[in-house]
Amino acid sequence: MLISLSRSRGWRVPRDVAIVCMKSIRSIVELPPAITSMDRNYQRVGYEAAALLKRLIAGEPAPAKPILIPPRAVQVRESTDFLAVDDEMVSEALAYISRRLQKPLTVAEVAAAAAVSTRTLQLRFEAVVGSSVSEEIRRRRLEAAKRMLEDKQLNVRQIASRAGFGHVVTMNRVFQRELRMSPSAYRAQMLGDRG
């Protein structure tokens, strides 16, 4: 409904508006873009509930305030995979990166698409985004690969190609550096609760 409403008003998801749901609706809604969701920490909720029950049975009073359990993680998907910035040149560069993520992509290409020199783009990008153009490309590819790893139908080689890494070795290197685990270990961790 939010995607349809946004489109009817001319808003682009995620460029103009980001959508985050409290629970994953991926299995219900296949309409693009895929919706970012909270990965609730059900295991910790269970432990906290058991501990509270134990205290109540022991005669302790109920807590005065609710016990809040933060989510385990945010499952970033396409509905929030866009950085909103006021700088038009940087915004154009980010849009170009998003459109071309699956293909080989150089900083010089991104600068040419934004109609500026590589040096100008790098300086503006660092000032506005807080990272380099290369770091943003790597971050986007990592997020795309993480999303695809939730799909058991895709193998790691297909994911490396579709996320723009080109080779499994390159994707493995980025996963190890950024997440301290392999793509396969990440997949096992993410699908562990869901089988």
Query: How confident is the model at residue 138, as a pLDDT?
Result: 92
Give the closest residue to 162 by CA, choosing from 176, 191, 183. Answer: 183
Q: Tell me the average pLDDT across 142-166.
A: 90
- Work out the pLDDT band at 155, boundaries 50, 70, 90: very high
pLDDT digits (tens, 9 = 90+) for 56-109: 999 999 999 999 888 776 666 666 655 667 788 888 898 889 888 889 899 999
Least confident span in 78-82, 94-98, 153-157, 189-193: 78-82
CA pair distance 193, 191, nearest whole angstrom:
6
What confidence tens digit (pLDDT) does each residue in 134-146 have? 999 998 899 889 8
Q: Is a pLDDT exceeding 70 seen at residue 193?
A: no
- Is residue 140 exposed (0-12), middle (13-18) or buried (19+ Cβ within 10 Å)? buried
Q: What is the pLDDT of residue 195?
A: 45
Q: Report phi then psi at 38, rounded to 5.
A: -85, 135
SS3 (DSSP) at 38: strand
Please state the three-class secondary structure of 79-109 as a single string: HHCCCCCCCHHHHHHHHHHHHHCCCCCCHHH
For the chain, give the percent of residues with pLDDT over 90.
41
Q: Which ranges of the chain would DSSP assign to H, the alpha helix? A: 2-8, 42-57, 88-100, 107-113, 118-129, 133-148, 156-162, 168-179, 183-191
Lowest-pLDDT range of 12-16, 23-27, 57-61, 160-164:
23-27
Q: What is the mean pLDDT of residues 123-152?
A: 89
pLDDT category of residue 6 using cuts at 50, 70 and 90: confident
Q: Is the N-terminal amide bond of 14 cis, ω within 30° of 0? A: yes
pLDDT of residue 51: 93
Using an 8 Å Cβ cutoff, are 6 and 13 in contact?
A: yes
Is 86 in contact with 92 (CB distance < 8 Å)?
no
Residue ranges and CATH numbers for the domains of the chain are 1-79 (no CATH), 88-191 (1.10.10.60)
Q: 21 near 38, Cβ under 8 Å?
A: yes
